[in-house]
Structure 1
Amino acid sequence: MEKNIREENILEMPKEEIINFIINSYGEELKRIIFTYVKNHSQTDDIFQEVLIKTYKGLDKFRGDSSLKTWLYRISINKCKDYLRSPIHRLIPHNLKAIREEKTLEQSRIEEEQQNIVAEAILSLPIKYREVIVLRYYKDLSIKEISQALNTNESTIKTRIQRGKKNLKKNLGGYEIE
């Protein structure tokens, strides 16, 4: 599947091809978003499958009011929130280790340790701050896109980002991060 398929034309494709496109283009991003909520790799995979099923079933309802990416984020976030509200998640132990990209041996341990500290600090934030910090600074979504993905007012998103950064700074012992 070509990566340069235009999003406007995607709905003209068969559903199976659309799902393959979504997996290839957005799969890892969606899994990372899910992980920030559930903090468990096996649950991340399970919820990702549920997201794909819901997406497949809902493709006919996608109107294009937002981008495909924003729509997928909204589905993923809602699935995570459903999971967190369910009693089953309390039975599964949480894994607090952050997702790590493969690192080369040449990279320093100091940088790796700093990333772990920041990731743990982000994961320790309340969910309403964690989600906006991840979407804004790790997924590079605009305030408007975050607002659409979370179905929340833009001014609320801005406030949560400010408060999230303040809490993050406090969790990091007064150090600010980029």
Structure 2
Amino acid sequence: MHTEETAIQELEQTIMKYKRTVYGIALTQLKNKHEADDVFQEVFLLYYLKKPVFDDEKARRAWLIRTALNKCRQYNLGKWNRNTDKNFEPPEGRLADFESKYDSEIFEAVRELPEHLRETLYLHCFLGLSVNETASILGIRANTASMRLSKAKKILRSKTEGE
């Protein structure tokens, strides 16, 4: 039987392990630090309240990624959200944990991609998921994921070569 203290410890461990993953998704999908903070909190609150059981760590990670993406979609589709300022506010003068100006520029270019390309590219390139894992999480075929990756990379290449 799970005690409250055990549940909180397990939540803290999960947050420590997956905070960059969930927050990175939120930042790239929402382009607004305050909304990203909200999604981060909502994902882990939902995790705590639902207490999902997983067969392995891979399934836990997939659940957190899917939940973060779904929460971001809810924010992006919300009626009140269409009228809000979408200017991104970098935390403390730089983007998250990116070390160089080049990394920040690439991150910004990724954020300008259409949502379906941005999601696919972020999951594959930033989180290191395979094409099949990316496709599974997004609920699309592997061929579709590959095509989206190819298109996203082509767009990024053209943007970064011009600068």
TM-score in terms of structure 2 length? 0.82
What amino acid is aligned across from residue 32 of structure 2 in structure 1?
N
What's the CA shift for 1:101? Answer: 1.9
Partner of residue 27, structure 2? 35
Residue of structure 2 equivalent to 1:153: 141
The one-letter code sitting in structure 2 at the alignment partner of 1:58 is K
Q: Is 1:99 the counterpart of 2:95 in the alignment?
A: yes
Q: Secondary structure at 1:172's aligned position in 2? A: helix
User: How far apart are 1:102 and its partner, in Å?
Assistant: 6.7
Q: Are residues 135 and 17 of structure 1, via their aligned partners in 2, closer, same or farther at CA, if it must alter by over 3 Å? A: same
On the 8 A contact 1:33/1:77 being kept in 2, the answer is yes
Distance, in Å, in 2 between the alignment partners of 1:27 and 1:119 is 18
2:154 to 135, 146, 166: 166
Q: Which moved more, 1:122-131 or 1:163-172?
A: 163-172
Q: Residues 64-112 of structure 1, C-alpha deviation per residue, up to 9 Å, x if partnerless?
A: 3852111110110111011111122223322345723275xxxxxxx51
Give every structure 1 segment of 4 or more consecutive aligned residues whose post-TM-superposition deviation is greater than 6 Å.
none
Counterpart-to-counterpart distance in 1, 2:17 and 2:64: 11
Find 1:144's aligned residue among 117, 121, 132.
132
* 2: CA distance, partners of 1:18 / 1:146: 26
Other-structure match for 1:135: 123
Structure 2 partner of 1:64: 55
- Give the counterpart of 2:76 among 75, 80, 84: 84
Matched letter for residue 112 of structure 2: S
Structure 1: stretches of 5+ with no match in the other structure: 1-12, 104-110
- Total equivalences in the alignment: 154
- Alpha-carbon contact 1:132-1:161 (below 8 Å) kept: yes
Paired residues of 2:98 and 2:104 also in contact (CA < 8 A): no
User: 1 or 2, which has the higher helix percentage?
Assistant: 2
| 1:151–1:57 Cα change, 3 Å | farther
CA contact 1:70–1:148 (8 Å) conserved in 2: no
Residue 119, structure 1, aligned to residue 107, structure 2: yes
8 Å Cα contact 2:54-2:60 kept in structure 1:
no
- Tell me how far 1:19 sits from its aligned partner: 1.4
- The whole-number CA distance in structure 1 between the counterparts of 2:107 and 2:26 is 15
Amino-acid identity (%):
26
Distance in structure 2 (CA, Å) of the matches to 1:88 and 1:42: 15
The Cα RMSD (Å) is 2.3
